[in-house]
Structure 1
Amino acid sequence: MHRYISLFISIMSALLFVNPASSKNVIGAEDVKSILNRLDSELDRRDIYLNMRHASIDSLKAIVAGKNISAEERLECLLQLGDSYNVLNTDSALTFYAKGYDLSLSLGLDSVSTRFKLRTATYLPLLAFITEAADRFNAIDRESLPDGLMLEYYDAARQMYSYIASYYINYPEIYDPYMKKSQDAQAKLLPLLEDGSPRFLLNQGEYFFYHQQYSKAKAVLLLLLDRIPEEDNLYARACHLLADIAKARGEHNAYVYYLALSAIADTRGATLEVSSLQELGRIMYLHGDVRHAYDYLSAALSEAVECNAPLRIIQSSNIFPIIESAHKAELRKSTVRIYIVMPIMAVLLAVLAITLYVLHRKNRLMNRMAVKLEEANNTKDVYISQFLNLCSIYMDKLNQFNKMVNRKIITGKVDDLLKLTKQGKFIEEQSKEFYDVFDDAFLHIYPSFVSEVNKLLREEERIILRDGEKLNTDLRIIAFMRLGIEESTRIAQMLNYSVYTIYTYRNKLKNRAISRDTFEEDVMKIKSMA
């Protein structure tokens, strides 16, 4: 009874004392214009917020890598790393959850290992591992869980089933049962949450929304906005729910306003696993605001790819035709500008032709100096040439992939896209092509690289390449080190390996070296071609 009295008081407080930014009874066109301008400014600062999150993550990584840290502290840091990554890069989040699970399991900490298992099951659907997520979750014996884990158990169920349902939003016969499971879990979660806490208010508001009690839902969510900072992920989720409420009520201005506010919160919180910006871009396009539609959809697509979550990539792929239409609209406007600019360009081209003629004459007088300069900068030229070659290849591949995606979407073969992303065949092909180009480029600059590396290794540990092989994984890792790329994270990204795999390779290479302690310094002394 006390719980319901507290809830009633909270709702009444929300109606009377929420902050001005979130308590507008009627949101007008000027409010929408103002919030969209603010969103534009925040998107311009997106990299700043991402760098701040990465700095925080790097600090946690440094703590985990330290020696003076207890097992319990290391486990807590691994959990925080996974939680930091789950809105930034799903692969990385699952990697840290897996490390935490293995460590806690080896220490016999069953409750802690279950926490990591629940986290993993929650976010596996974002990578399209639906069956694996459900199997992992169902393998947990709910009856044997301690009271302290019941909250996390039902929260994981709520989120996991909601993610799974998202894949089937156009198939009600599949979507509805999964959403029912999510809502049932939420109903069991609510009594376990601290009354009046931010998580309680969010889930309470969502519960009211799903039961079409829109006034109660809005009051609770507005109260939540008044209690938490804007960059909090709960703030973004609450605003998205408020947008859904406005949509259900037919309040267009409020719908756009809260979607924009949700996108601002996502941007400030460096959250890439988002849906508000996608939806906002779609609405902008439908209402004729092509500029905002293009900006928001482009940013949303970039974030979906960077987050590497197939669920969001599939959702983004459905918006490709809208992006194309926006492009065409912009091109039509650009055509008019081109007709104006063309005469000016003609004059500039004439000036350029005269300038080139003069430069050509001067160039003949400077041939000898140019030869010497070319010899001095030969290595730099090779770098640039190979880089441009690689860019050309990848631009061509990207264009082919874009055409293929458009064909699949136009023909309704979205499932083929999902299959393609799950199999990873495209990534494997691109990785192999990258290796070939990189090997040629690097060996052109460092022709004696293999023999120089072998001089640093013990005789029985020297690298022997197979027929037709230019560099292997060991040599590529050393090559990146020679190019000054020290971080295992960057090497892992470029070679399409996990950070743990790169770390293992580097450690084994040091063990094979004649001088383990100076191995990396010795690598940096390998000379390029003269």
Structure 2
Amino acid sequence: MHRFLTLLFALLFPIFLFGQNNFDPLLNELDKTVADYQLYSNKKEIEINQLKGLLKHTSTDLQKYAIYGKLFSEYKSYQSDSALIHARKSFQIAEKLNDIQKSNTARLNLASIMGTLGMYKEATDILTAIDINTTPNLKGYFFTVNSVVYGYMSDYAASLQEKEKYILLTKKYRDSSLNYYKPRSSAYIMAQSSTLLDAGKHDETLALLLNYFPTIAHNSNDRAVIAYIISQAYHQKKEPQQEKKWLTISAISDLQLAKKEYISLRSLAFIMYENGDIDRAYKYIKRSLEDALFCNARLRTYEISKMLPIINEAYQKQNETNRFQLVLFLLSASILSIFLLAVLFLLFKQMKKLSKAKQDLSLANTKLSELNTELNTFNEKLNDTNYTLTEANLLKEIYIGRYMDQCSDYIGKLDEYRRKLNVMATTGKMNDLISAVKSKQFIENELKEFHTTFDKTFLQLFPDFIEEFSALLIDDEAIQLKEGELLNTELRIFALIRLGIKDSAKISIFLRYSVSTIYNYRSQLKNKAAGPREEFEAKVMRIGTSLK
């Protein structure tokens, strides 16, 4: 048996290995979102085309400026080249309107998208040329764009010295932006949480963002950014499961809003690679690369290009492993099928033997059942006989005792009667003697006393005789006793029958009636029987027993 289980496990192990899967609901949602990326892109295109359609019905530069600004916002994380085009158009109209507020806004939009496109020189030149004091309400946006551009430059820096320089500038401009955003605004929250995170204050960062995150609308661009910062806080705390969870939330938001320039999905791909989930890692990094190329986000493309060969190589190896496992699976399934067929064949033969054995056993059980039935019948008859013998013995014991008492009593009474007659004879009272000898009063008194003694003795043996006997008769023919009677003549006849005296002649002698009288009584009561007439006396014989 042990060898069989070992062999079965060896055959099934490749199947278990091949069928492994991860059923994380969030990851499943992300997988579906990745698969449906075109659906979200189509929705984005529809929104953009609707804005472009408004340009055909717009005549004023002011309206065109507003529409180009909206188009820039839609294209910013979707298609950088188009965002740059609309930022420039927006700037041209702002210059034409001679509005410093709109011009500086357009310049900042230009610098922001140039940073995404890797045009760092052009972006810094624009930022340097802006006199932000002319538009103090844009200072927060100005410092944020500087921080983002220098952040890109630090990621792309060729030397450590330059990298450290750009990191310092990134933090400097980010900290400056906090002075110009309204507290509790989204921009302020993001800048503050990034500052706390850089300082290693991950618990404070989580305390700030976990309370703020539920207030963000699902269609807000800030949702993915906040979720990404939360994931980085958990990364500092060394809680990989939470980090993966929030990266997944961030990636879902990015993809559903049709963003093509993002970080979360790429970061999640690398985590999946480290966790051995190569299929997801390859799928996520491939989607990230395609989106980065579509958006023309050069920094993201560069970052992805460093990871892609590693993940791709692992993916190819896994495919080879999967192919080997599939072959092993098919081989194991074939061997297992042959093995199962052999087992089924042996099982079929065994079942035929078992069926034959069941038939033999059924036949034996039938015969045994018949023997048991005969034995039960014999036991019932034996029990009846034993009961009858026991009852007879009991009756004999009781009646012998009563008979001896009765005989002794009669001897005493006869002796007294003899003395009485002797006195009459010796005293010469011949007339009294003759009257006493002729009188039946003595006999009648003794017979009455004899019947009373019999009634008491019988009812002592069968206390429920009258009720059970009456139950054998038709309801309106029940025996009615006179006051003071224990049994009447009819009941005494059947009491004697119950005691086993069935001969009418013997009963007539016992009760001092003629045989014909006894016969008539028996016939009359049989005619009153509730059941079949011929079964009446047999039922009387069962009175007082458990056999009804």
**TM-score in terms of structure 2 length:** 0.54
Residue 146 of structure 2 corresponds to residue 147 of structure 1: no
Aligned residue runs from structure 1 range 267-286, under 5 A: 267-286=255-274
User: Aligned equivalents of 1:81 and 1:180: distance in 2?
Assistant: 33
Alpha-carbon offset, residue 330 of structure 1: 3.0
Alpha-carbon offset, residue 338 of structure 1: 6.9
Q: Which stretch of structure 1 is more off in the superposition, 210-219 or 323-332? A: 323-332
Q: Is the 8 A contact 1:123 1:160 kept in 2?
A: no
Q: Deviations over 1:166-192 (max 9, x none)?
A: 212x74322222122122112221122
Residue 220 of structure 2 corresponds to residue 218 of structure 1: no
User: Aligned equivalents of 1:316 and 1:82: distance in 2?
Assistant: 25
User: Aligned equivalents of 2:130 and 2:51: distance in 1?
Assistant: 29
Residue 80 of structure 2 corresponds to residue 100 of structure 1: no
Aligned residue runs from structure 1 range 205-244, under 5 A: 205-244=193-232
Residue in 2 that maps onto 1:506: none
Aligned residue runs from structure 1 range 12-91, under 5 A: 33-67=24-58, 69-91=59-81
Aligned residue runs from structure 1 range 116-135, under 5 A: 116-135=106-125
Q: Is the 8 A contact 1:243 1:259 kept in 2?
A: yes
Residue in 2 that maps onto 1:176: 164
User: Aligned equivalents of 2:151 and 2:273: distance in 1?
Assistant: 27
Q: Is the 8 A contact 1:293 1:326 kept in 2?
A: no
Alpha-carbon offset, residue 194 of structure 1: 1.8
Structure 1: where are the runs of 5+ without partners? 1-29, 344-530
User: Aligned equivalents of 1:309 and 1:186: distance in 2?
Assistant: 22
User: Aligned equivalents of 2:109 and 2:168: distance in 1?
Assistant: 21
1:341–1:257 CA distance, 2 compared to 1 (3 A): closer
Q: Which amino acid aligns with 2:175?
A: A
Q: Deviations over 1:74-121 (max 9, x none)?
A: 101101111110100111100000001111112212221111111111
User: Aligned equivalents of 1:107 and 1:285: distance in 2?
Assistant: 53
Aligned residue runs from structure 1 range 416-495, under 5 A: none
Q: Which amino acid aligns with 1:185?
A: Y
1:31–1:258 CA distance, 2 compared to 1 (3 A): farther
User: Aligned equivalents of 1:209 and 1:172: distance in 2?
Assistant: 21
- From 308, 313, 316, the counterpart of 1:320: 308
Aligned residue runs from structure 1 range 407-422, under 5 A: none
Residue in 1 that maps onto 2:100: 110
User: Aligned equivalents of 2:217 and 2:164: distance in 1?
Assistant: 33
User: Aligned equivalents of 1:172 and 1:222: distance in 2?
Assistant: 34
User: Aligned equivalents of 2:87 and 2:23: distance in 1?
Assistant: 40
Q: Is the 8 A contact 2:200 2:236 kept in 1?
A: no
> Match of 1:83, SS?
helix
Instruction: Give 4+ residue runs of structure 1 displaced > 4 Å after superposition.
Output: 337-343
User: Aligned equivalents of 1:342 and 1:202: distance in 2?
Assistant: 54
1:172–1:229 CA distance, 2 compared to 1 (3 A): farther
Alpha-carbon offset, residue 71 of structure 1: 1.9
Q: Deviations over 1:235-266 (max 9, x none)?
A: 11111111111111111111111111110110
1:31–1:288 CA distance, 2 compared to 1 (3 A): closer
User: Aligned equivalents of 2:142 and 2:22: distance in 1?
Assistant: 40
Alpha-carbon offset, residue 231 of structure 1: 3.6
Residue in 2 that maps onto 1:405: none
Residue in 2 that maps onto 1:24: none
Alpha-carbon offset, residue 149 of structure 1: 2.0
Q: Is the 8 A contact 1:282 1:322 kept in 2?
A: no
Alpha-carbon offset, residue 275 of structure 1: 1.2
Residue in 2 that maps onto 1:432: none
Residue 261 of structure 2 corresponds to residue 265 of structure 1: no
Alpha-carbon offset, residue 296 of structure 1: 0.8
> Match of 2:52, SS?
helix
User: Aligned equivalents of 1:226 and 1:245: distance in 2?
Assistant: 17
Residue 324 of structure 2 corresponds to residue 333 of structure 1: no
User: Aligned equivalents of 1:114 and 1:140: distance in 2?
Assistant: 7
Aligned residue runs from structure 1 range 516-527, under 5 A: none
- RMSD over aligned Cα atoms: 2.3
Residue in 1 that maps onto 2:295: 307
Alpha-carbon offset, residue 340 of structure 1: 7.7
User: Aligned equivalents of 2:114 and 2:176: distance in 1?
Assistant: 22
Alpha-carbon offset, residue 72 of structure 1: 1.6
Q: Is the 8 A contact 1:151 1:189 kept in 2?
A: yes
Structure 2: where are the runs of 5+ without partners? 1-20, 332-548
Percent of aligned pairs with the same amino acid: 23
Q: Which stretch of structure 1 is more off in the superposition, 104-113 or 90-99? A: 104-113
> Match of 2:215, SS?
coil
Q: Which amino acid aligns with 1:190?
A: L
Residue in 2 that maps onto 1:360: none
Alpha-carbon offset, residue 333 of structure 1: 3.1
> Match of 1:191, SS?
coil
Q: Which amino acid aligns with 1:331?
A: N
Q: Is the 8 A contact 1:204 1:220 kept in 2?
A: no
Q: How many residues align?
A: 311
Alpha-carbon offset, residue 326 of structure 1: 2.8
Q: Deviations over 1:122-150 (max 9, x none)?
A: 1212222111111111111233x222222
Alpha-carbon offset, residue 56 of structure 1: 1.0
> Match of 1:255, SS?
helix
Alpha-carbon offset, residue 339 of structure 1: 4.5
**TM-score in terms of structure 1 length:** 0.56
Residue in 2 that maps onto 1:418: none
User: Aligned equivalents of 2:269 and 2:221: distance in 1?
Assistant: 20
Residue 145 of structure 2 corresponds to residue 156 of structure 1: yes
Relative contact order (C-alpha < 8 Å, sep 6+): which is higher?
1
Q: Which stretch of structure 1 is more off in the superposition, 309-318 or 32-41? A: 32-41
User: Aligned equivalents of 1:178 and 1:220: distance in 2?
Assistant: 27
Q: Which amino acid aligns with 2:286?
A: S
> Match of 2:200, SS?
coil
Q: Is the 8 A contact 1:198 1:224 kept in 2?
A: no
> Match of 2:92, SS?
helix
